[in-house]
Structure 1
């Protein structure tokens, strides 16, 4: 019996070699006919067209789970995801040093997202594919807002770039915590915006009182990142909501919720409801984290239609069609999101427990990464970790002796925990 992530000869070629050859011939004559030729599996189609071959090797990790959903109809989705975990862990180990540096989803996109991506392959020649409007509607339903309150962008970084352009030019004043996700302050600085960086408090939270003191009539934009990157911390819910609502009466507020899906704190609330209340607030989200689509660049802005119209004037292009299809499918794959959340909790708990056992200070992570006190320069720890087969995050001044480590698969985190005493 075949297992998830593998295919027997019968599964890979249900109609035999001659049927595959005939289908390939039809493909060379007419692409539309190949799309209708059920005798050719997706795997064979990719090999025939050269898409599935790179330097003589089939693309690893892209097809096994997708193929399993089609061929092994009797396998439950839960079993498929368990097999995916085993396949991904093996693939990542074979690929070289384990990446625990960019807060990526180690499992990648969901099997259903892969299916949607591959089914959309022939749309790579299209401008303005219909899927963009469909994704906009799917995301609007996902967060509970009208469709005209959603802008689909090339990653959430484009949301931040358009904000810098719309509000930061000609010396526009931007107030932001520091350190935080750097894109908006960095974009603002290149446009000669007056960026006011407010140090975090001693709990690594936004210092809301100090930020409030910096906000005046000349402030064009206030940036909030909750949970915060790189510290993994969550601000007090009510205090932050009061801060956002108060300052929305004076200026525009952007709340970056890239790590929204990983939060376990029971009192955590998105700021989307404040958008619905008509406040000049923008909430940014991304398909890069829990949905595993960082390389496909899909993000979202949630705001009043008039604010989105202002941002749209600075959008530089359209998200790619494959990312749109994958994100649309992933948003509707709640089982996969639950799976990723659970695996992240497992890996995060392993790392935090080990660090506390070693007596290290660790922030209360509500994300897919952990921020801890190394007691030595981050560059030193990076080099030691790399020698053991792991790539970890860089330094984030002024916390140059604190490390940010992204959460890998549970098996990877067990291996990382085992080498911790030798690198700290």
Structure 2
């Protein structure tokens, strides 16, 4: 790659991705939202600025390196696999006894009571069912934008509206603006920390302060799917708020650290009345297989595997960050198992070029600016990604006329 192409790319990315615009909302809103938004997004539009492209099924045959989903390339843990195999003989029985055992294990781990725990087939299931329970009679939901959209989309599907509050210039949640947005129709405030798809964080201390104030008015849902991979003292679980008796809902998953994405298991920690409000409608544990349940309990006990995953994920994340910067990209800070960065090619064109080289990634348009999100694989896999990236973007820069 030439120095000229690297310099021109860096210039384009800085112009196109960072601090891309100002607030253009109504005067009444301007007094509520003070921070310059990170992606130039406008609050309260209620429409999606983030467009996602999925790889068409026929393309999967070309993919040799799968970095298109935030999966753990090292899991499940050997102990989990053994427990899953041994529990297969229990497949003729329902999960009643296993679920009670796991609720007790998680309650002890989180410092709460079993009635504060709700098991489910993955944390997305918890997001969606909470949205249905809270929003089936309308109202509004407040979240950052961009954010993980399952809860928002489900809320809208059952009749709620969405108040989108852009991330701040440092990519943290604009908690002051979110607090100001709460009104008598607000049914839920949603915070994803670390955030997906940006990979960025909001300091836990700020979230705790925000929740202690706001949760007296409306439930605060804190999605901690990636928190165990953050490895930063500024990011700690907010589960202590539940211990304090606050109306806060914490969602956790076994899909990331524990490498059980395909086995589908997660849990919620909340006040007993919030747990019961979902149980009154559905029995979430009935969607979990006994093998997944037994595997999850074994994985919880395998701290050696968990620490190995954290270390290897961090090593790959630091390597990819360094390579992206050396190639002239401007990746956003990441505390997760993925990295988001702006690109200077149309998203579908970029995705297709990478797939043709055997690399599966995910692409987004965020406020009309093309981005790539690459998940962390093994070190060998991420090295194949960075090698392919050089070739694709060298070719793309020439085709684009030397941007």
Q: TM-score, normalised by structure 2?
A: 0.79
| 2:261 corresponds to 1:294 | yes
Match of 2:320 among 336, 342, 351: 351
Q: Which runs of 5+ in 1 are unaligned?
A: 1-93
How far is 1:137 from its partner? 1.7
How far is 1:237 from its partner? 2.7
Q: Judge conservation of contact 1:378–1:402 (CA < 8 Å) in 2.
A: yes
How far is 1:151 from its partner? 0.8
Q: Judge conservation of contact 1:348–1:368 (CA < 8 Å) in 2.
A: yes
| Aligned counterparts of 1:401 and 1:359: Cα–Cα separation in 2 | 15
| Matched ranges for 1:168-317 at <5 A | 168-315=135-282, 317=284
Distance 1:415 1:119, change over 3 A: same
SS of the counterpart of 1:307?
A: helix
| Aligned counterparts of 2:354 and 2:126: Cα–Cα separation in 1 | 34
SS of the counterpart of 2:191?
A: strand
| 2:356 corresponds to 1:370 | no
How far is 1:316 from its partner? 5.1
Equivalenced residues, count: 332
Larger Rg: 1
| Matched ranges for 1:127-146 at <5 A | 127-146=94-113
| Aligned counterparts of 1:145 and 1:360: Cα–Cα separation in 2 | 44
Q: What does residue 384 of structure 1 align with?
A: 353
How far is 1:378 from its partner? 2.2
Q: What is the Cα-based RMSD across aligned positions, in Å?
A: 1.8
CA deviation vs aligned residue, 1:55-109 (integer Å, no higher than 9, x gap): xxxxxxxxxxxxxxxxxxxxxxxxxxxxxxxxxxxxxxx9942211110111220
Q: TM-score, normalised by structure 1?
A: 0.75
CA deviation vs aligned residue, 1:225-277 (integer Å, no higher than 9, x gap): 00000000011232222222211111100000000110121122211001100
Moved more, 313-322 or 325-334: 313-322
CA deviation vs aligned residue, 1:114-144 (integer Å, no higher than 9, x gap): 0000000111111234111111122222222
Q: What does residue 10 of structure 1 align with?
A: none
Q: Judge conservation of contact 2:325–2:331 (CA < 8 Å) in 1.
A: yes
Q: Which structure 1 residue ranges, 4+ long, deviate > 6 Å from structure 2?
A: none
CA deviation vs aligned residue, 1:138-166 (integer Å, no higher than 9, x gap): 22222222222111111111111121111
| Aligned counterparts of 1:207 and 1:381: Cα–Cα separation in 2 | 31
Q: Judge conservation of contact 2:171–2:201 (CA < 8 Å) in 1.
A: no
Q: Judge conservation of contact 1:275–1:282 (CA < 8 Å) in 2.
A: yes
Q: What does residue 339 of structure 1 align with?
A: 308
